[in-house]
Every structure is written in structure tokens, then in C-alpha cells.
Structure 1
Amino acid sequence: MSLGTEPSTAASRPKRAGRRHTWGLFSSRKLLRHFRRLALPVGHAQLRPERASAEQAAPLLQAAQQDEASLLQRFGTQLAGLDATQAAQRLREHGANEIGQERPLRWYEHLWACYRNPFNLLLSLLALVSYFTQDLKAAVVIGSMVVFSTALRFVQEARSNHAAEKLRAMVQSRATVLRDARAQELPLSQLVPGDIVQLSAGDMIPADLRVLGAKDLFVSQGALTGESLPVEKFAQLRAAAPREPLDCETLCFMGTNVVSGAATALVIATADQTYFGALAQRVAASNGAANAFQAGVNRLSWLLIRFMLVMSPLVLIINGVTKHDWLEAFLFALSIAVGLTPEMLPMIVTATLARGAVALSRQKVIVKRLDAIQNLGAMDVLCTDKTGTLTQDRIALQRHTDAQGRESAQVLDYALLNSHYQTGLKNLLDVAVLEHGAADQQPPLLDQYQKLDEIPFDFERRRMSVLVARGAEAPLLICKGAVEEVLQVCANVRDGEQELPLDAARLAQIREVAGKLNGEGLRVVGVATRTLPPAQHAVTRQDEAQLTLQGYIAFLDPPKDSTAPALRALKDSGVTVKILTGDNERVTAQVCRQVGLPVTRIVLGPELEGLDETRLRALAEEATVFARMTPAQKERLVRCLHQAGHVVGFLGDGINDAPALRAADVGISVDTAVDIAKEAADLILLEKSLMVLHAGVREGRRTFANMLKYIKLTASSNFGNVFSVLIAGALLPFLPMLPLHLLVQNLLYDFSQSAIPFDSVDEEFLSRPQHWQPEDVSRFMLHFGPLSSIFDLITFALLWFGYGASTPATQSLFQSGWFVEGLLSQTLIVHLIRSRAPPWAASRPGRPLLLATAAVVLIGLTLPQSPLAAYFKLQALPGSYFICLLVILLAYAALVQAMKGAYTRRYGWQ
């Protein structure tokens, strides 16, 4: 429920005692994609959802039509619920209430998933070709590369999944279930057919349910139908039974959520037997289009693969024609293909994102979808609500006045009765009223009244009412809610002992009093009443009419001490903060002033209606605060900012935030949020704080920067190597390097790259948003790739003229010299272009990267000199060569550093 002028937020929602929430039921990324795929955005073309099969529809339709007694008998249960023995037996029979795609992969399934990427499959094919062409050493080396890549990815993902499972176990999702004739909070996975559950606003529907009793129960079925408006559910069909389960008014389906009202319902299907579970299975083979990050990685991958498919045949033809040994040329071309294949890309991407997820968990941010880490780092606009983000979310009741602004104990009594007897979603406003009532020793008042009925809160009316009676007195309807919405149903106003008509003059005076309270930063809630006929013991929304305004209750929600520095930190990091709230604009403006958030313009929700996209986009860019916003308006504004080219984050935790969370590039919620908000989010904050979010933004940028390092290194290094190979193939009477040498070099280089996810990142990458721009990678590759070829040619000349390695008889010396130079230059480039700064200056590599590259350099220097040299067809190099090599590498470093300066001045470093 929400009172006052702001819709409910989850942080303000103290659910029933002991209840703890998380995204548990739909936690897997695959199932979340199903959920989002089915939840079509408002305003888009609506597609009719896939219908249930006749076999699945029949039992649902039967349950929808049966009377309560027959239904309870059919499922072997009673209104008091199952006992523990029955529930345990059924859990063994039906299994846990988890969708099949959500269950963790078995270790061998996970291992296979880590192996089956295009690069590993290509390498496996090359290994088989090498084996059948009698090149066993090449087959072993290529196979080792596949094993290394797969094993590393398997270990990294297993560690990440284990960490995520431990975090999920901290905040399990629970539902209110009647067991052993009492209400209990049980994990959703333990629900079984025949359970009796209780629902309230904000709950996700935990299974397929038949409604047994409902009070103004409205359910959003957009996840299954694409319909934007919630539908009302009833205990009995009001018309002939429909032909489709989704059209049944008495059924609720897993994956949907309660918007308002309350209900008692019977579980009729769980897990894969639910409508949602069957639908998820049917669409499992189609997970939807790749997001921007996935599309970017795919584009780069195919660029490198196409590069390989073009260059490998060229290498084959040039070496075959010049060397007249087509088998050797073919094996060499295969080795080039292996070297050009970015086989470590899936592992690097996964390991970097997984490490980022673990690091974010230490910052109190839980990642539901790994790709969201990149979007978090790229975010340049953050849309957030006010309550609990800018403010402490610790509301205290400050005033209780009549309509004229005089203190009134009677208004507090009315508010106390309303908050105590309403059974919907209680927020901190209700808690503050109840606590204030207890402090004033007013609970005896509650003993004098009996509750008869209620009208739950919803986000259209933004008010709620209870019907109470005292003794033989006529029933009294007490309504409280947002001031304007309460005034809409008022005809009179109380002034002392009089009830006066609510004319224009009095209405202006009332709004002036409320405005003054808002100007003090107080959230104002209107309280109104109506006496009903003695025989009327039930009410509907139509009874909210002809009310008498009694007065106001006003609350203070002070700003957080951390908000001002967090806003400054976000601004310094290139993130613009915009406030999207349902609250009053005066209250919001006052809070913004207190926390130092400059307000360029305030736009009210009603002003957005009727605006075209061009005008809305201009307002979205210009304004800082958007007040009195509806859920649909929040979603529209987020989409508009996205279409304007921004990467938009949305932080929300209420029922009304779910559409905007889905529309944002990165949806952010908190672990105390309502279920539907957590399901729609990509990230979960364990603490609702902008400072925590700022730490998450920096970690997202760190993760993305390390991932981009590998991509740039791989692209530029491969591009330069191909140039060198083509030139050497055309000029030399022998191969510049044997296939075995290329494979060993590539394996060692990949080992050094595996430490990149753990590298440190320069502050400049953390201080502004980082966007995925594949075209920058191509430009980077063209500028830095050919530099290594210059020094490869110098090395060729040194070996040819300086050491006489110019004939097939001396080719082993030539190949050994280029093997060492190529490996060291490739390893050196890791440190040269991992940062704009020189490697010996401010930018320090992470210890894992430093140790990995040092190990590779040591192996490269000692392998030709070791007893293993003959096995790898290498030979010892003269000592003077290493002196010349040092000069070459220093010159290479100097040229790369000069290119970095020129490149940065023209294009920027990243």
C-alpha cells in the first residue's frame, strides 16, 4: 500500500513478520529472459501469447469452474491447509517448486556448456586435422589449448556460481502458507499442490492458484499476456467458463504479480506443471535477441573469424607456391588459423564478468545477470525515486491537523484506525502512525471498534479505506491517501464542529495549508470519513464518494547523511541523477535542496500526457525532477532517455517501479523490494544507498576495462602477426616459424592473458562511463597491429644478415630467434597498451598479471637454451642475440608509447 503523495516503495514495506524476499523463484538468467520476452512493453505491438495445450488447459479450466468444496476434496486438502506429513509426502511426489530451466546444471552439463563455443569447436577440428596428418605435437598443443580454455572457464564460472548461491541463500524467497492450521512463511520451493496460500499487494504468484477468497484482488498478467492493465480476480466465475485458462477470473498464474488487494488461494500446480513452466519449456530454444553487449562481442568475434578465414588461405597459397611443400604449408596455415582464433575470448569475458560479480557482492551488490555489469559501467543517467534513496526511509509522524492546520487528536484517531485495520501492503507511513499511536497510549481506542470491510490501496486511486463500527453506531468509512486523490471524493470539510460544503474558496484554503506543510519537507496524507447506513457492512470503490475531509497527517523523512557526497561522486563519475517520484513536487524540491542536488526544472506527471516524443525527449534531458509520476509515465520516460542515446539505470523497489525496471538498460532494486521489482531488476542492492551504487558503477567500469584490454590486445596482436607471416612467407626460402612453434607461442601467450581479469585499472577509466564501441577496436587494431611487424622485420634482418640464418640448413636458428622475439613482444604489448600511461610510471599492473607475464617471459628465454629445445625443434641462441633483442624490444616499447600519445590526442584512449 502507499499513502500520501508517493506510491509505495519496498524499503517502506515491512512485510509480515519473518518474511524475507529475493529473486529466488526466477533467479536464472535464462528464465529471466523468458520473463522479459513475455512481458511486452506498453505501447508496443501486442502479440497474443502461445496458448496452453489442450492437455494442460483441461485441468486448469476444471479447477476454475469447481466449487470450493469439490476443489478441496479433489486436492485432498482443507481451508486450514495441509499438515506437515501430507506436505512432505507431496513434496516427494511432485518435487520442488522450481522451473526446470532454473535448476543448477550438473557438473558435466556445465563442463559441456563451457566447451561448446565456436572457438573451441574450431580448435578441436584443427587438432583432429593435425592428428590425421601425423602432426602429433601440434595436435597435443592445440588440444592443450582447448583443455586449458575450457577448464579455466569451468573453474571461474563454478566459483562465481557458488558465490552467488551463497548470497542467494542469505535472502530466500518465502510465501505465506497455511500448514498445520497456522500461517507460516515457507520457501517457495516447498509449495505443493493442495497448499493454501495468502496473497497481498506486491507478491509474486508462487504457483498456479485457484482463488478461494479475494478482496479487490488485481493481478498483473503482463508477463504472460502482454496486457498492460491488471485484471481483477474473484473466488467464483461471473460468467460462462472461458475457453482459455488465461481468461479465467478465478485463476492466478506463476510469474504474475499482485498489484493490489488480498486473497486466499489453493495451489493447483507447481514447477514445470504450471502454465508458466510449460511455456518456458516451449520457448527455451529461443532466448530472444542479444543485448548490446552480447551483440558487440559477437561482432568482434566474427570479425576475427572472418579475418582468419581470409588470411589462412593466403598464407597457405604464398608458402605453398614459394616453398613447394604444400603439406608443410597447410600445417603452417592451420597454425596461423589457431593463432588468429580468439579462443580465450569466451573465457576472458566470462572470467572478467564473474570476477566483477564477486567483487560487486563485496560492495553489497548482487548481480543477477552478468551482462548487466557492463551496462552498469556504461550508465550515464540514473533515474531513482526519492524515498529511501535520498532520504533515510525512517518516517516519523510530525503533525496531525484539521483542514485548517490546527492540531487535531481526532484526525490521528481516524488515521490510527485506518492503518491498524487495513490488511493490504503496509508501508512506513502506516508504521509511523501505529508507533505514534502507541506512544500516545491510544491502542485502547482500537478495542472499541470492529472492522467490517476495506477497500485496498491501488496506484490508480492512491488511497485506501476501511469500514469500522463501534457498538450500535452506524458504520464509519475512513479513507486516507494522497491529498489530491482524497479531495476528489470529498464533498464537505470539517471546521470545528461544523461540516461545511467544499467550495472553491475552502478548497483553495485547504491546498494552501497542505502546501505549507509540503514546503517544510513534510509528506502530507489526507484523512476523510463518511457515515454509512446502519445495515451496510460491505463497501466498494463506489462508496468512496461524498466524504468529509477531516484533516491531515504529515510525516518527516530526513535526508541521509551519505546522499550529498554520493551525488557529488556520481556527478564526478559522469552519471546524471534524475528523480522520478510519485511524491509531491514541493516535498521533492525541498529534499533536493537539502542534499545539494541542483534542480533545473520540475515536471509533473500530468504534463507528460499528450506530449510527442520530440518534446518529451527535450523535457527528459532538461529536467532534474519528475514528480507525481505514474508507473506508465516512469517507463515512458526511461525509454525516451534510452532512445536519446543514454545508457539508463533505474533504481526502484515498489510495485509501480517494475515497468521502468524492465525498460532500463540496467534495472536496480534492493533485497527488501517487492517480489515483482526484484524479478524485473538486473542487480540487487543489499543496502539502498547511492554510495553503494556508486561503488558498483566503478566496479562495473573496472570489469569492462579489463575485458576491453584483452579484446584490443588480441585484435592488434593478431593483425600484426599476419603481416609478418605474409611478408616472411613471400621472402624466405623456409617457414619463418614451424607450426609447432606458433602453437606453443600461442598457448603461452594465452596463459599470460588469463590473468587480465585480475588486473588493476587506471582511475581515468573509472571516472567516466565506458561504452561498448566495436568500431574503436577496429581502429585500434589498424594503428597498433602493424607496429610489431616493423620489429619483426628488423629481427628477420638481424637473423638473416647478422647471424647467417639464411638457408634451409640454418632455419632452426632463424625460427628460434623469431620465436623468442615474437613471444616477448606479444607479452610486452600486454603491459604497453593495458594503460595509456607508461608501464614504468603511475599505472601498475595487478600482481596476477605481472606474475603470469613474468613466467611466460622466463619460459620464452630459457626454452631454446634448455634440454627441451630439441623436442620443440628449437636451438640455443648466441648470447649477443639477447643484447640485440633487448634493444629491439626497447625500441618497440618507445614506438608504441609514441603511438599511444598520437592516438590518444586524435581519438581518445578509450
Structure 2
Amino acid sequence: MMARAATPGQDDMRACDPAEQHRAGQVLAVAWHALSASEAASRQVVETAIGLQTGDVGARRARYGENRLAEKPPRSKWLAFLDQFKSLLILVLIGAAALAGAIGDLKDAVVILAVVLFNAVLGFWQEHRAEATLAALKKMLSPVARVKRGGQVEELAAAQLVPGDLVMLEAGDRVPADGRLLACHSVEIDEAALTGESHPVAKDAERTVAAESPLAERVNMAYMNTVVTRGRAELLVTATGMATEMGRLSGMLAQAEAGPTPLQVQLDVLGRRLALIAGIVIALIFALGWARGEPLVQIVLTSIALAVAAIPEGLPAVVTVTLAIGMHRMAQHRAIVKKLAAVETLGCTTVICSDKTGTLTRGALRLDRVHTAPGTTEPEVLAWAAALEEGSEHPIARAVRAAAGDLPRPACASFRALPGRGVTATVTLAGKVLPARLGTAEHVGEVPAFDEPGATVIHLGIDGHWRGSLVLRDELRPEAPATVRALTAQGLAVEVLSGDSAAAVSQLSDRLPGIAATGSLAPEAKLERVQAAVAAGECPAMIGDGINDAPALSNAGVAITLESGTDLAREVSDVTILGGDLSRLPWLFDLGRQTLKTARRNLTWAFLYNGIGLCLAVSGYLHPLFGAVGMVASGLLVVLHSQRLARFPLPHGDLR
């Protein structure tokens, strides 16, 4: 199978001028995470108490450009319409119309051109409607940033940021650019979209890390498009636009090679065969006429007329109508398909590669089990832990409180949060005020060792003694197990490619039997796996929602994302599932196979009908009038056959 066509924006990335690349290289050359906060500010030549001055901003924007990722200008509607004619079969039909017009057969010429135009209009309209839906989703986001400039904090469009800007961040903000954290107050950032980590990372502006450290270990940095889940911070912008980590991943999309889908290959082969058949008909009729001594002009006209008749002009419309009906049926079930060809590729899929965090899982923690000390009960541990987490919006805190439910909780006071370690407080038990700690083993003190691979384990200590431990795991989507079972029952191999830890991904294999799972994968490794599947003759579908999934998505046979996915993931995907319900996946692949099967049946029927009719007409057994009526009837039968897809049953309920 071929890799799918490159997506909008890739040409611009590929054609990035040398000066632009040089500027980006200057920014990335510094290992900002290996510098202290003061050293980073000194390198950027900025006063942290004031920020950049207006003159500095203009000079830096002229040097580095706007804080935007490279995007290809929207394709004009005319070019999108002309793309519908880029098929050998369509060109053969246009040639047939030209020949018919040349010999004065205007009726056939008009009919053929009308069919070609209908095919182009239908394909253009279906794709334009899908792109408009996705564009509406994109417009819902309007990124802004609070920036300190000239001693004043102002709110600006994120695109106006330049290296050296000081950005104020707080819980709920999306990080607008890459940068070195100058100050942190209990800050945690959700980097799942970039690194695949399933829970937020505690940040520490005071630390420096080795220059060669991977992204997940750079606790003093924040990266574009990640989300602050807790605390407040001041960020020194060190890279913008294509020089950011997100920009680097966007640049990798240029590796996607354009290629036809399996059905497009078959149609091109068919087009070449039709051209060959037309040539043979012309040569044969010309030879017979010459042997009979017929006038040369009559021989030429007869040869061309029969050659035109030998070409079934309805074939492109047959395929387009079939795929359009399948595409519309998918849209009815809240799956937006960008291109008609993606409907067919869904039917050709042989292997599914999927991200873990946010795709098969919710990207949120859930209590798995509780370990208790002798003399302590599970409800007590839950109630005490929930009391210590009261008021916190940390994902661990929310998971603990949800697990505790309505259990009565003791009074707590003197709360103190220690990012990356846990919380301390005093708790009132049996009339006594006791010190309590909840968090890591180092924070709590001496705790038993538990073998919980891939889990987040927090420990509870009261009055210096361990009282229990809570085991939290990334919560599976409720429909994920049944969805995986249904996909494997369809004969599809399911592979999980995740940037999360190998232990967490390995544990997922136990919860989802039948999958092959690999963890600790960088975006490049995901891309290599998809490319290897294509090279091996497979047709891989890639399902992902993060920035780190985009290179693999852009190289897959068909790319699928969820409505909640990042802008970049939605941009490069062929199919967007609105609402994020994975239980639709088996139905989508099933409908894709049925659509492909219907299109092939229609092609076979139309081609055989034309061949039989042509033979009967040449031999004199079929009057041309009846032949024309038969052609119309054949077209109606094909359309009616395709309409069966409109009644393809929707799944009843879901697969949970």
C-alpha cells in the first residue's frame, strides 16, 4: 500500500528558505534547560522586572518572524475543483469526448463531458463540506497570552510573541511558545500531547538539567501547546514558530510521500486498458475497412465512433457516487471524512496503530487499588487521603476525592503543597491533632515496597507511621476493551505506539488482550513504525490525538483523530470522530470495506455491460437505440446498488 497524500502545509515546510532555517537553528542551538534562570535571561538580553521594550520587539520579530507554524495558504476552490480531474481514467474520457466532437458526434461528446463534470462537482462538494466542518472547529480556538513588556502586563495574540518575551502563566493556560521557566509556584503542566506522559509534570524553575536530557525530564521548561494544570509561572520565551518543539514535529510532516490509494491504482490501470482497447478497436476497424476498399474518411469516422463507444463514460461517476454515499453515511454517525479516497482506504486497512494517552485512555487517573497497614481499613485510607487533597485541582487529588465519594472526612488544617512530592497537613483523629503526609515514598518516609508497574502510587503517613497506599492508573475509555475485541474480530492487528513509560504501556497489554504495545517511543519512532508497515505492503491506519502523533498520522494509509485532538492532529488526519467515542471505529472500518466492495462490483458490472453491448452492436444484433436505453438502465442499476450503503445499519447503542 502507498502512503497517503501529503497534507496542506507540507509544501511550505519543505520549501522553508535557508534564512528561515538559519534563524530557527540559532534559537535551538542553546540548551536552555541546562542554564539557570538568570543565565537564560542574560542570553536573551532581557530585564526580568521590565520585559522587552517596543523597539526590541520589532527588531526580534523582523529577525525571528511571527510565532506561527508554517502553513500552506488555503487551496483555492478552483484548484480543489481541478484536482478532481487528476485521474488517467478521467483524461481518457476527456480524450474520448474530444474525438467524438471531432467527428461531429456532439451528442456523445456532451454526454461524456456531462458525466465527467458531474463526477468532479460531486467529489468537490463532498470534500469542501468536510473541510468547512473542520475549519469551524479550528476557529473555536483563539490563543492569547499575558505578556510583560515595558514593565506592564498586557494581553496579546500568541502569534505576536518573540524570543525574550516574559509570559505570565496560570492554571488552565495553554503554553503559547517554548520557554525557560523563571519562577514557579506549585506549577504542573500536562505534556501528554507532546511526550505521551499520562499525568502532569511538576516544574521547578530553580533546577538545571543535563543538556542531553529528553523532553520529559526538562522540568524547568515549558513547551508550546502543553497545558498548565496547576499553579502560576513566569516563562521566558526562547523559541517561537517553527523553531519550537511543535514546529520541529510539524516539519517532520514533510516526509509524507504522496501516493494513490489502492482503488485509484486500479482505476489508473483500467484507464490504461481502456486506452489500449480504444487503440485496438481503431486499428482493427481501420484494417477491416481498408481490406474492404471503403473510403478512407468513412473508415476513420467509423473507427473513432466505435472507439468512443468502447469507453464506459460512467465509470468515474460510479466510483464517486459510491464513495460519496459512504462518506455521507459516516458523517451521519459523527465521523467527518476529509477526502473521498479516505472512505476507500478505511476498507483496505490491515493494521491499526494507536496512541495510548487520550486515545485508548482518557488521560485521567483513576483509583485501581488500595494497600492498607495492619489495623487500618480501606475506607479510612480513602477518607483521610481525600481530606488531605481537599481544595486541590491536581489530577491525583481529583482521582482520590472521586474514589472517596461521600465517605466522612476528618478535619484538616495547615495545608502545604510540595510540587512533585505531595502535601502536608494536620488531621484531627479521635480528638487528637496529628501531622499527616500524602505523596511520594521519599516524602512520607518508610513505606513498604509494592510492585505496581506503570502505576502512580501515593502513600499516606500519619503521625510518622505509614497507614496506606493508593494505586492510580490512567483510566481506560469504557468502550476501549470492546472496541479492541471488535477490531481484532474483523482481522485487524492492533498495535499501541506510546510515548508513555514502557511499564505503563506494558500494563495496558494486560487490560486490553490482543494488542501489541510499545512504550517510550519518540515521534520519530512512531513515524518509522508506520513507514515500515507501508514498506511491508500493509495499509496502516493511525489513530492519535497529540502533537507527537502528527508525523505518524501524516504517513499512514488513513489517519484518524478525535474531536478533542490537538489542532495539528486534526489538520493532518483524514477522519475526525466527533464526540471521541471509540466504539464507532469497528463500524467505520466495516462500512469502508462495504463501500469498497460495492465500488468494485459496480465497476465490474459497468465494464462487462459495456463490453457485451459493444460486441452485440458491432455484430449487428443490437440496435443503437436499444443500446442507449440499456446504458441508461445500467447507470440507474449501479446508482440503486450504491444506495444500499445509505441503508448500512448504524451500530445499536455502543460497545461498552
Confirm or deny a common fold (TM above 0.5).
Answer: yes
From 574, 577, 582, give the equivalent of 2:490: 574
> Structure 1 150/116 Cα, relative in aligned 2: closer, same or farther at 3 Å?
farther
Tell me, yes or no, if the aligned pair for 2:325 and 2:645 is still in contact at 8 Å. Answer: no
User: 1:347-378: per-residue Cα shift (whole Å, max 9, x none)?
Assistant: 54444434433321211212245433223223
> Structure 1 378/819 Cα, relative in aligned 2: closer, same or farther at 3 Å?
same
Residue matched to 1:110: 80
Which structure shows the higher strand fraction?
2
> Structure 1 647/395 Cα, relative in aligned 2: closer, same or farther at 3 Å?
same
> Structure 1 72/220 Cα, relative in aligned 2: closer, same or farther at 3 Å?
farther
> Structure 1 304/408 Cα, relative in aligned 2: closer, same or farther at 3 Å?
same
Tell me, yes or no, if the aligned pair for 1:638 and 1:664 is still in contact at 8 Å. Answer: yes
Q: AA paired with 1:707?
A: A
Residue matched to 2:598: 706
Matched, 1:448 2:398: no
Q: Secondary structure at the match of 1:821?
A: helix
Residue matched to 1:364: 334
Tell me, yes or no, if the aligned pair for 2:329 and 2:645 is still in contact at 8 Å. Answer: no
Note the 1:689-768 alignment, pairs <5 A: 689-720=581-612, 723=615, 728=618
Q: Quote the offset at 1:153 in angstroms.
A: 1.6
Residue matched to 2:109: 142
Tell me, yes or no, if the aligned pair for 1:176 and 1:185 is still in contact at 8 Å. Answer: no
From 459, 462, 470, give the equivalent of 1:552: 470
Tell me, yes or no, if the aligned pair for 2:312 and 2:606 is still in contact at 8 Å. Answer: yes
Q: AA paired with 2:490?
A: G
Q: AA paired with 1:191?
A: A
Residue matched to 1:671: 563
Residue matched to 1:461: none
CA distance in 1, matches of 2:154, 2:314: 49
Q: Quote the offset at 1:62 in angstroms.
A: 5.6
Residue matched to 2:141: 174
Gaps of 5+ in 2: 31-38, 196-202, 212-219, 427-434, 647-656
Tell me, yes or no, if the aligned pair for 1:649 and 1:664 is still in contact at 8 Å. Answer: yes
Residue matched to 1:821: 626
> Structure 1 360/267 Cα, relative in aligned 2: closer, same or farther at 3 Å?
farther
Q: AA paired with 2:20?
A: Q
Tell me, yes or no, if the aligned pair for 2:346 and 2:589 is still in contact at 8 Å. Answer: yes
Matched, 1:153 2:120: yes
Q: AA paired with 1:56?
A: E
CA distance in 2, matches of 1:720, 1:415: 78
Q: AA paired with 1:574?
A: Q
Q: How many residues align?
A: 587
Residue matched to 2:649: none
CA distance in 2, matches of 1:78, 1:342: 73
User: 1:660-690: per-residue Cα shift (whole Å, max 9, x none)?
Assistant: 7667644433222455655664422224445
Note the 1:342-381 alignment, pairs <5 A: 344-379=314-349
Q: AA paired with 1:55?
A: A
> Structure 1 679/169 Cα, relative in aligned 2: closer, same or farther at 3 Å?
closer
Matched, 1:407 2:338: no
Note the 1:179-194 alignment, pairs <5 A: 179=146, 191-194=159-162
User: 1:632-656: per-residue Cα shift (whole Å, max 9, x none)?
Assistant: 7988988888788765545554678
Note the 1:443-482 alignment, pairs <5 A: 448-451=415-418, 453-454=419-420, 465=421, 478-479=439-440
Q: Secondary structure at the match of 2:19?
A: helix
Tell me, yes or no, if the aligned pair for 1:175 and 1:206 is still in contact at 8 Å. Answer: no
Residue matched to 1:303: 273
Tell me, yes or no, if the aligned pair for 2:191 and 2:226 is still in contact at 8 Å. Answer: yes
> Structure 1 108/671 Cα, relative in aligned 2: closer, same or farther at 3 Å?
closer
> Structure 1 257/216 Cα, relative in aligned 2: closer, same or farther at 3 Å?
closer
Tell me, yes or no, if the aligned pair for 1:668 and 1:685 is still in contact at 8 Å. Answer: yes
From 250, 258, 261, give the equivalent of 1:288: 258
Q: Quote the offset at 1:819 in angstroms.
A: 0.8
CA distance in 1, matches of 2:559, 2:328: 19
Q: Secondary structure at the match of 1:288?
A: coil
Q: Secondary structure at the match of 1:669?
A: strand
Paired-residue identity, %: 19
> Structure 1 265/298 Cα, relative in aligned 2: closer, same or farther at 3 Å?
farther
> Structure 1 558/318 Cα, relative in aligned 2: closer, same or farther at 3 Å?
same
Tell me, yes or no, if the aligned pair for 1:177 and 1:184 is still in contact at 8 Å. Answer: no
Note the 1:797-876 alignment, pairs <5 A: 818-829=623-634, 846=643
- Please give the TM-score of this superposition, normalised by the length of structure 1: 0.48
Q: AA paired with 1:306?
A: L
CA distance in 1, matches of 2:98, 2:575: 43
Tell me, yes or no, if the aligned pair for 1:403 and 1:549 is still in contact at 8 Å. Answer: yes
Q: Secondary structure at the match of 1:333?
A: helix
Q: Quote the offset at 1:159 in angstroms.
A: 4.3
Greater CA drift, 436-445 or 307-316: 436-445
Q: AA paired with 1:326?
A: L
Q: Quote the offset at 1:297 in angstroms.
A: 3.3
- Please give the TM-score of this superposition, normalised by the length of structure 2: 0.63
Gaps of 5+ in 1: 1-27, 39-49, 224-231, 241-249, 455-464, 480-489, 516-522, 531-547, 593-601, 603-623, 729-792, 798-816, 836-842, 850-910
Tell me, yes or no, if the aligned pair for 1:387 and 1:393 is still in contact at 8 Å. Answer: yes
CA distance in 1, matches of 2:85, 2:563: 34
CA distance in 2, matches of 1:252, 1:655: 15
CA distance in 2, matches of 1:414, 1:384: 35
Residue matched to 1:763: none
User: 1:704-733: per-residue Cα shift (whole Å, max 9, x none)?
Assistant: 2332234223432444456557xx4xxxxx
Tell me, yes or no, if the aligned pair for 1:415 and 1:527 is still in contact at 8 Å. Answer: no
CA distance in 2, matches of 1:847, 1:169: 31
CA distance in 1, matches of 2:504, 2:115: 55
User: 1:471-527: per-residue Cα shift (whole Å, max 9, x none)?
Assistant: xxx999943xxxxxxxxxx79996xxxx37x6xxxx5xx44xx69xxxxxxx96422
Q: Quote the offset at 1:196 in angstroms.
A: 7.2
Tell me, yes or no, if the aligned pair for 1:352 and 1:703 is still in contact at 8 Å. Answer: yes
Q: Secondary structure at the match of 1:165?
A: helix
Q: Quote the offset at 1:430 in angstroms.
A: 5.3
Residue matched to 1:862: none
> Structure 1 584/696 Cα, relative in aligned 2: closer, same or farther at 3 Å?
closer
Q: AA paired with 1:157?
A: F
Q: Secondary structure at the match of 1:154?
A: helix
Q: AA paired with 2:457?
A: G
Q: Quote the offset at 1:696 in angstroms.
A: 1.8
Matched, 1:31 2:7: yes
Q: AA paired with 2:623?
A: W
Q: Quote the offset at 1:163 in angstroms.
A: 4.2
CA distance in 2, matches of 1:666, 1:179: 39
Q: Secondary structure at the match of 1:371?
A: helix
Q: AA paired with 1:315?
A: I
> Structure 1 117/100 Cα, relative in aligned 2: closer, same or farther at 3 Å?
farther
Q: AA paired with 1:376?
A: L
Residue matched to 1:314: 284
